[in-house]
Amino acid sequence: MGELTVPPLHKPFSMFEWGRPNTKLLIIGEAPGEDEERYGKPFVGASGQLLNILLEQSGFTRADFNITNVFTERPPGNDLKANWTTTKTDLKKAGHSMAARLPPINKRYLIPEMEHHVSRLHSEIDQLKPEFILMLGATALWAVTGESRIGQNRGTILTLPHNRVGLATFHPAMVLRQWDQRPLVWADLSKAAKFLAGTLPKPLERLFYIDPTFEEIEHVYEIFAANPDWQIGVDIETDPRIGQITTISFCTPRYGICIPFYNKSTLPQLCNYWHTAAEEARAWRWVMRYGALPNKKVGQNFLYDHQYLLEDLDIRVENLQDDTSILQHSLQPELPKALGTLASLYLNEPSWKFMRESSKDDNKADE
């Protein structure tokens, strides 16, 4: 078999726009559309025009970035799904091994004939050595990190391989279809600008107890009790399969305790975190003591939490002061008010939902 020849269109920098000399910033989009195909440059159509506006509103100019795409050719029907197969079975039927396959995106695997696009993109990154990568859309996020959940990962400063950092946000084409997402993209780009300018506040150093012992539960309780002027955040996680609380957490800006009741590391079976019924009862008594602390409390969509704590368990959270879901809706009623959105807008923190390996099974209804 002769050496594989990559068509010129697929070589590095073939669907590419150079920014100002020596820039260390890179934008990665998904694939060219009809206008990009006609002019041989990325982001020259309607999505590109919107991108220019959003960049300028966020303190950037287009020339601050080199710009590329994951794919250098327009997919059939302008539909990116055409570049993915449906299942592992489809790949195996076509005689492809799963050993070296790229991770799936939305449970779809990249068609092997398309894999050279990802190799080409990585070649561009290796040659450019960008210090900051702005990933537009789930496909760009996936090609760089292997993660495709753009909704959960947007708006967070991400640590990337080779001492690089980046940020993912929705693709401008999505904003053109869902105009209510525009403020979120603007907020994400503004966060990137602040980060690069060195004005984005650094995350606080925190002490979290995620799988605590009773001694640690008591230790954090004593810290909270000794500081009654501290406001305490309260949150629960539930599992729809059992209709029960799986964990409950209490936290301040610097201390946090997560009291679990089910050990999700044993999935698909759910096992009790505590070894005996007496231990579990002891843990619930500590939850009652935390809820009774005189500190002002804040929750997120806390009516949901109350149906479990008060109605099912007769546990009261005293001195509840604020509900961040209601506050956000009062402030910006046009925006989503889930906790993940609030965290991306107001904090510079990694997505807490993925601190546990099994976090994908947590119920989102409590947000």
Examine residue 268 and state whether it is found in any structural domain, yes or no.
Answer: yes
CA angle (300 as vertex; 294, 305 as ends), nearest 5: 75
- Under a CB-based contact definition with an 8 Å cutoff, are residues 248 and 313 in contact? no
Same domain as 167, residue 18: yes
Q: Beta strand 244-251 with 232-239: parallel, antiparallel or unpaired? A: antiparallel
The last residue of one of the domains, among 172, 197, 222, is 197
Chunked in runs of 10, what are the mean pLDDT values of the chain (367 residues)?
Answer: 42 82 96 91 96 97 97 87 79 69 82 89 94 97 92 91 93 95 96 95 88 97 98 91 88 95 67 90 97 97 88 91 94 89 84 54 49
State pTM to two decimals: 0.83
Same domain as 271, residue 232: yes
Examine residue 1 and state whether it is found in any structural domain, yes or no.
Answer: no
Amino acid at 44: V
Q: Beta strand 164-169 with 132-136: parallel, antiparallel or unpaired? A: parallel
- Under a CB-based contact definition with an 8 Å cutoff, are residues 192 and 134 in contact? yes
Examine residue 2 and state whether it is found in any structural domain, yes or no.
Answer: no
Measured from the Cβ of residue 27, the count of other Cβ atoms closer than 10 Å reads: 25
Same domain as 192, residue 219: no
Same domain as 18, residue 144: yes
Predicted local distance difference test score (pLDDT) of residue 92: 76
Measured from the Cβ of residue 326, the count of other Cβ atoms closer than 10 Å reads: 15
Q: Any idea what the CATH number is for the domain that residue 323 is in?
A: 3.30.420.10
Same domain as 299, residue 185: no
Could you list the residue range(s) of the whole structural domain that residue 171 is in?
8-197
Predicted local distance difference test score (pLDDT) of residue 292: 97
Dihedral of the alpha carbons of 145, 150, 153, 157, in degrees to the nearest 10: 70
Predicted local distance difference test score (pLDDT) of residue 351: 62
What does the longest C-alpha to C-alpha distance in the chain come to? 76
Predicted local distance difference test score (pLDDT) of residue 352: 61
Q: Which ranges in 83-242 belong to alpha helices (H)?
A: 88-93, 115-128, 138-145, 150-153, 172-177, 182-197, 214-225
Structural tokens at position 31: 């694939």
Examine residue 356 and state whether it is found in any structural domain, yes or no.
Answer: yes
Same domain as 180, residue 223: no
Same domain as 181, residue 235: no
Examine residue 355 and state whether it is found in any structural domain, yes or no.
Answer: yes
How far out from the chain centre does Cα 109 lie? 21
Q: Any idea what the CATH number is for the domain that residue 16 is in?
A: 3.40.470.10
Same domain as 185, residue 277: no
Measured from the Cβ of residue 259, the count of other Cβ atoms closer than 10 Å reads: 25
- Under a CB-based contact definition with an 8 Å cutoff, are residues 296 and 252 in contact? no
CA distance linking residue 155 with residue 188, whole number of Å: 5
Structural tokens at position 39: 């002019």
Predicted local distance difference test score (pLDDT) of residue 293: 98
Structurally, how many domains does the chain consist of? 2
Examine residue 244 and state whether it is found in any structural domain, yes or no.
Answer: yes
Kindly tell me the burial class for residue 265, based on how many C-beta atoms sit within 10 Å of its own C-beta (0-12, 13-18, 19 or more). Answer: exposed
3-class DSSP string for 162-203: CCEEEEEECCHHHHHHCHHHHHHHHHHHHHHHHHHHCCCCCC
- Under a CB-based contact definition with an 8 Å cutoff, are residues 235 and 248 in contact? yes
Element (H, E) at 204: none
The last residue of one of the domains, among 197, 219, 248, is 197
